[in-house]
Structure 1
Amino acid sequence: MKAIFPGSFDPITNGHLDLIKRASLMFDEVIVALLTNSSKQGFFTLEEKIILTKKAVADIKNVSVISAKDELTVEVAKRLHADVMIRGVRSVKDFEYEQEIALINKQLAPEIETVLLLANPQYSVVSSSMIKEIAKFGGTIENFVCSEVQQALLRKWAEKD
């Protein structure tokens, strides 16, 4: 079975990595798809996110990374012949949002299932937005992201100052 794990990954966090690793044990192939989120302003460029994400998942054999710009997630999943779309859920608020997306996607592509994976408690409060904010003000982020992402965030904020 082939699964797609879509997101903006701006940047990829240890919470994302935990979900990807768990999904890699459940499915034959997991494709991490970096997609456009029109409701968010990107911090990293698409190229930077691809590099960081590939480095973060490099040791997971059945995981690959792709990007798709300005395309519906469900259309990307169809094009890749994915059986499943994986989504992470950290809270009740996430669940409600993901449930709505899953129901719409089911109407658009009935052949593709959505699997919601619950975040491990240690990552349930971790979000890319919070990580960027902590890094911006010099806080410690080493427990939330891999070292490559930590270095990239620090460089990026230094460039903006």
Structure 2
Amino acid sequence: MKRAVYAGSFDPVTKGHLWMIEQGVKLFDELVVAIGLNPEKRYTFSVGERKVMLKECTRHLPHLRVEAFENQFLVNYAKSIGANYILRGIRSTSDYEFERTMRYINGDLFPDIDTLFLMPPREIAEVSSTMVKGLVGPDGWQQVVKQYVPEAVYQHLLDNAAQGS
């Protein structure tokens, strides 16, 4: 069985994340979408909210699990769930440099776990959770943000903004 893990903060899920997930379910027998928790990072959404958003956005996809992990290297997590592959996205040259280094380190730790890189289409290549969060707030943000996130996530962003007012 070809099992892969695709990890990220998913705070919030973007159309770029969703594209990666959709490609992953085509490539592997099972894809585990893993929410990585970094105690050094401040999140807009709780891990529970991020799980809900991911499940809502991926409901239509087969052979997919949504989980969370913390305080371990991604390659160690992959090994612990029996994943043979780590799926990563490359949006820029800086992503490439970082991911290339991590791939080599992961290979040193567990040579039997391969890392596969995908490049998203140009129209979503620059989309990141940080960018989306930075767009929320000013007048008219709703129309701008809507084009970068799945509908279920957009609804959560609207609800979150309404609670913050």
TM-score bracket relative to the smaller structure:
over 0.9
CA drift at 1:64: 1.4
User: 1:1-47 deviations in whole A, cap 9, x for unaligned?
Assistant: 11110111111111011111111111111110011135532111010
Q: Secondary structure at the match of 1:131?
A: helix
Alignment of 1:92 with 2:93, yes or no, is yes
Aligned to 2:152: 148
- For the residue of structure 2 that corresponds to 1:136, the secondary structure is coil
Q: Provide closer, same or farther for how the CA distance between residues 101 and 39 of structure 1 changes in structure 2, counting only shifts above 3 A.
A: farther
**CA gap 1:37/1:119 in 2 versus in 1, 3 angstroms:** farther
Gaps of 5+ in 1: none
> 2:20 maps to what in 1?
19
- Please say which of residues 33-42 and 106-115 is displaced more in the overlay: 33-42
Q: Contact 1:17–1:56 (CA<8 Å) still a contact in 2?
A: yes
Q: Displacement, 1:135?
A: 2.0
Structure 2 residue aligned with 1:30: 31
Question: Letter of the aligned partner of 2:77 in structure 1?
Answer: V
SS in 2 for 1:141: helix
CA 104–39 in structure 1, closer or farther in 2 if over 3 Å, else same: farther
RMSD of aligned Cα (Å) = 1.3
The answer to whether 1:134 aligns with 2:143 is no
Output one character per residue of 1:21-79: Cα deviation in whole Å (capped at 9) or x when no partner.
Answer: 11111111111001113553211101000100111111001111111122221111001
Q: TM-score, normalised by structure 2?
A: 0.92
The SS at the match of 1:52 is: helix
Q: Residue 147 of structure 1: CA displacement? A: 1.4
Q: Superposition pairs for residues 11-90 of structure 1, below 5 Å?
A: 11-90=12-91
Q: Give the count of matched residue pairs.
A: 161
Q: Which residue of 1 aligns with 2:106?
A: 105
Which deviations, in whole Å up to 9, do the C-alpha atoms of 1:72-92 show, x marking residues without a partner?
211110011000000001111
SS in 2 for 1:86: strand
Mind listing any 5+ residue stretches in structure 2 that lack a counterpart?
none
- Residues 38 and 70 in structure 2, CA contact (< 8 A), matched pair in contact too: no
* Kept after mapping to 2: 8 A contact 1:135/1:154: no
Q: Percent identity, aligned pairs only?
A: 32
Q: Distance in 2 between matches of 1:4 and 1:33?
A: 7
Q: Distance in 2 between matches of 1:62 and 1:144?
A: 25
